[in-house]
C-alpha cells in the first residue's frame, strides 16, 4: 500500500518539529507536554491532559489542529451529558416536513426509509469524528471529562476502543483513520482507571517564570517585558498563598497584563493592582485572603 500524506508526515515528525509547529502558533509547551503529545501522535493513542484550569489544556488541542491544518472536533462535557448527545440526533422538524410531503404519495415503509436516512441525521462530535474524511485525521477534543459522570466515561472508553458508531436505522460508521484524541480534565473528579490506562498521560501545572513570561509576551501584543516580568512575579505570589482557592492560571496573567495595558499602567503599584483586581481574583473570599501591599511588595 502506498504511504499516505499523513503517514509520511508522522514518520518524519520529530519532537523538535512538533515544538516548532506549536510555537509557530504561539503555544509554548513544557518538555513533559511536548514529549507526551509527540508519543501520543506516534503511537496513535489518546492523550489525557490533567491539571489546574487556565494552563493551556484546551488551547493545546486547538493549536494542534490549526498547526496540522486539520479539523478540530470538540466534545464539551458537562454534568448530565449522555451518549446520545455525543453521538447523534434526528432532525425532527425536517423529518416531519418530509412526512407531510410524502404522506400522499408514499407508503409507510418508503417514508420510514426516507426519514431515517443520513440526510436527517444530526451528527454529534463522536459521529463527526468517525465520519471525517480527508488527508489528515481530525483532532477530537474531549474537554473537561471530569464534569461528566462515570457512566459517560465508561461509554467513552468503549468508543475509544472501537472508533465506531452504530445508528440502528442506518448501520455502523467506522473511522477510516483514528482521530487524534486529546482529553482534558480539571480534576474536579478523579478520572477512572480504565480511561487512564487507555491514554498517555500528562499533568500540566503553572509554568516556571521564564516560560510564563514568554507565553504572555507572545499572547499580548505590544507587552513590555519589564511589566510582564513583574506581573508574573505577583501572580506567583498569589498562587503560593495557601488561602487562595481559585488560583490564577496563565489565562489570568494574560488578562491582567491586558487590563494593565488598557488602563495605561506601565508599572504595577498598589493602585494599578486595585484597579485590575477583576482580572486576577474570581472569588470574594480569595480577595479577602491576600494583602495587596504584600503582593506589590510595598
Ligand X SMILES: Nc1ncnc2c1ncn2[C@@H]1O[C@H](COP(=O)(O)OP(=O)(O)O)[C@@H](O)[C@H]1O
Which stretches of the chain bind Mg ion, using CB under 5 A? Answer: 58
76 binds ligand X (CB under 6 A): no
Candidates 57, 123, 136, 177; binder of ligand X (CB under 6 A) is 57
Closest contact distance (angstroms) between CB of 288 and ligand X is: 25
Q: What is the DSSP string of 81-123?
A: --HHHHHEEE-HHHHHHHHHHHTTT--HHHHHHHHTSGGGEEE
Q: Note the Cα 99 to chain centre separation in Å.
A: 40
Cβ–Cβ under 8 Å, residues 7 and 137: no
132 binds ligand X (CB under 6 A): no
> Rounded distance, CA 176 to CA 197, Å?
24
Candidates 40, 55, 86, 200; binder of ligand X (CB under 6 A) is 55
* Residue ranges in 135-194 that form contacts with ligand X under rule CB under 6 A: 184
Name residues whose C-beta falls within 8 Å of residue 85's C-beta, 6 or more positions apart in sequence: 124
Could you give the string, one character per residue 244-273, with x where binding to ligand X holds by CB under 6 A and - elsewhere? ------xx--x-------------------
> Rounded distance, CA 107 to CA 109, Å?
6
27 binds ligand X (CB under 6 A): yes
28 binds ligand X (CB under 6 A): yes
66 binds ligand X (CB under 6 A): no
> Rounded distance, CA 26 to CA 28, Å?
6
Residue of minimal CB distance from ligand X?
56
Closest contact distance (angstroms) between CB of 52 and ligand X is: 7
Closest contact distance (angstroms) between CB of 49 and ligand X is: 8
Q: Which of 58/70 has CB closer to ligand X?
A: 58
From residue 48, alpha-carbon distances to 33, 67, 180 in Å are 10, 20, 12
Q: Which of 29/46 has CB closer to ligand X?
A: 29
Cβ–Cβ under 8 Å, residues 13 and 177: no
Candidates 18, 46, 47, 58; binder of ligand X (CB under 6 A) is 58
Q: Which helix (H) or strand (E) holds 185?
A: strand 180-185
Closest contact distance (angstroms) between CB of 19 and ligand X is: 11
Look-up of cell digits 498562587: 239
Closest contact distance (angstroms) between CB of 213 and ligand X is: 12
Q: Which of 76/241 has CB closer to ligand X?
A: 76
Name residues whose C-beta falls within 8 Å of residue 71's C-beta, 6 or more positions apart in sequence: 65, 132, 134, 138, 139
Task: Choose the stretch contacting ligand X; rule: CB under 6 A; options: 21-29, 68-76, 106-114, 167-175.
Answer: 21-29
> Rounded distance, CA 140 to CA 45, Å?
12
Give me the residues that bind ligand X (CB under 6 A), please.
Answer: 26-29, 53-59, 184, 215, 219, 250-251, 254
Amino acid at each position: 500500500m502506498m504511504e499516505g500524506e499523513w503517514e509520511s508526515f508522522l514518520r518524519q515528525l520529530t519532537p523538535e518539529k512538533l515544538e516548532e509547529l506549536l510555537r509557530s502558533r504561539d503555544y509554548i509547551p513544557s518538555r513533559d507536554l511536548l514529549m507526551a503529545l509527540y508519543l501520543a501522535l506516534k503511537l496513535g493513542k489518546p492523550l489525557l491532559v490533567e491539571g489546574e484550569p487556565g494552563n493551556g489544556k484546551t488551547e493545546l488541542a486547538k493549536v494542534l489542529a490549526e498547526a496540522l491544518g486539520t479539523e478540530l472536533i470538540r466534545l464539551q462535557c458537562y454534568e448530565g451529558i449522555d451518549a446520545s448527545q455525543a453521538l447523534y440526533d434526528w432532525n425532527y422538524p425536517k423529518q416531519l416536513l418530509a412526512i407531510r410531503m410524502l404522506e400522499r404519495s408514499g407508503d409507510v415503509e418508503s417514508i420510514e426509509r426516507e426519514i431515517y436516512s443520513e440526510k436527517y441525521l444530526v451528527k454529534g462530535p463522536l459521529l463527526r469524528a468517525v465520519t471525517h474524511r480527508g488527508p489528515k485525521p481530525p483532532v477530537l477534543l474531549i474537554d473537561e471529562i471530569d464534569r461528566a459522570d462515570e457512566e459517560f466515561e465508561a461509554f467513552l472508553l468503549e468508543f475509544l476502543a472501537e472508533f465506531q458508531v452504530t445508528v440502528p436505522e442506518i448501520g455502523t460508521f467506522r473511522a477510516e483513520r483514528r482521530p487524534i484524541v486529546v482529553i482534558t480534565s480539571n480534576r474536579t473528579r478523579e478520572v477512572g482507571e480504565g480511561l487512564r490506562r487507555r491514554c498517555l498521560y500528562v499533568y500540566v501545572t503553572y509554568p516556571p517564570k521564564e516560560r510564563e513570561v514568554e507565553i504572555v509576551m507572545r499572547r499580548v501584543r505590544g507587552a513590555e517585558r519589564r511589566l510582564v516580568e513583574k506581573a508574573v512575579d505577583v501572580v506567583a505570589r498569589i498562587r503560593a498563598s495557601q488561602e487562595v482557592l481559585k488560583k490564577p492560571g496563565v489565562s489570568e496573567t494574560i488578562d491582567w497584563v491586558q487590563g494593565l495595558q488598557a488602563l495605561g499602567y506601565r508599572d504595577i503599584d498598589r493602585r494599578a493592582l486595585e484597579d485590575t483586581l477583576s482580572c486576577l481574583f474570581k472569588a470574594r473570599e480569595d480577595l479577602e485572603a491576600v494583602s495587596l501591599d504584600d503582593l506589590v511588595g510595598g
